[in-house]
Structure 1
Amino acid sequence: MLTKVVIPVAGLGTRVLPASKAIPKEMLTVVDKPVIQHVVEEAIEAGFREIILVTRSGKQAIEDHFDHHYELEMELTRKGKHELRAAVNDTIPDDVEIVSVRQPQALGLGHAVLCAAHIVGDDDFAVILPDMIIDNPDGKRDLSAMTARYAESGRGQIMVESVPEDQVQRYGIVDCGGAKVESGQTAEIKGMIEKPKAEEAPSNLAIVGRYILPARVMQLLKETQPGAGGEIQLTDALLALTQESPLEAYNMRGKIYDCGNKAGLLQANIALGLRHPETGSALREFISGLTL
Structure 2
Amino acid sequence: MERTKTVRKAVIPVAGNGTRFLPATKAMPKEMLTIVDRPVVQYALDEAREAGIEHVVFVTSRNKQVIEDHFDDTPELISSLERSGKEAAVSELGRLLPAAGAVSFTRQQAPLGLGHAVWCARDLIGDEPFALLLPDMVSFGPRGCLSGLMDLYGEVGGNVVGVEQCAPEEASQYGIVGRGAAVRHGFAVSHMVEKPAPGTAPSNLFLNGRYILQPEVFGHLARQQRGAGNEIQLTDSMLKLSATQPFHAHVYEGRTYDCGSKQGFIEANVAFALARPDLGGALFEPLRDLVMAHGGGARAA
CA drift at 1:95? 6.5
CA drift at 1:141? 3.1
**Residue 37 of structure 2 is aligned to residue 32 of structure 1:** yes
Size of the aligned set, in residue pairs, is 287
Distance in structure 2 (CA, Å) of the matches to 1:59 and 1:206: 29
Distance in structure 1 (CA, Å) of the matches to 2:97 and 2:90: 13
1:236 aligns with 236
Cα deviation code 1:162-221 (max 9, x no counterpart): 1111001110111235x6x79x84221222111112211111111111000111111121
1:145 aligns with 148
Distance in structure 2 (CA, Å) of the matches to 1:229 and 1:197: 16
Across the aligned residues of Structure 1 and Structure 2, the Cα RMSD in angstroms comes to 1.7
Query: Which TM-score applies when normalising by structure 2?
Result: 0.91
Which amino acid in structure 1 is aligned with residue 47 of structure 2? E
Q: 8 Å contact 2:166–2:204 — kept in the other structure?
A: yes
Cα deviation code 1:108-154 (max 9, x no counterpart): 11100000000000010011101011111xx2333112101101211
Aligned pairs for 1:97-136 within 5 A: 97-136=102-141
5+ residue gaps in structure 2? 1-5, 295-301
CA drift at 1:24? 0.6
2:288 aligns with 288
2:92 aligns with 87
1:4 aligns with 9
Which amino acid in structure 1 is aligned with residue 148 of structure 2? A
**Residue 170 of structure 2 is aligned to residue 167 of structure 1:** yes
**Residue 21 of structure 2 is aligned to residue 16 of structure 1:** yes
Moved more, 209-218 or 88-97: 88-97
Fraction of identical pairs, as percent: 44
2:254 aligns with 254
Q: 8 Å contact 1:50–1:97 — kept in the other structure?
A: yes
Moved more, 219-228 or 160-169: 219-228
Distance in structure 2 (CA, Å) of the matches to 1:176 and 1:289: 42
5+ residue gaps in structure 1? none
Q: 8 Å contact 1:158–1:250 — kept in the other structure?
A: yes
1:158 aligns with 161
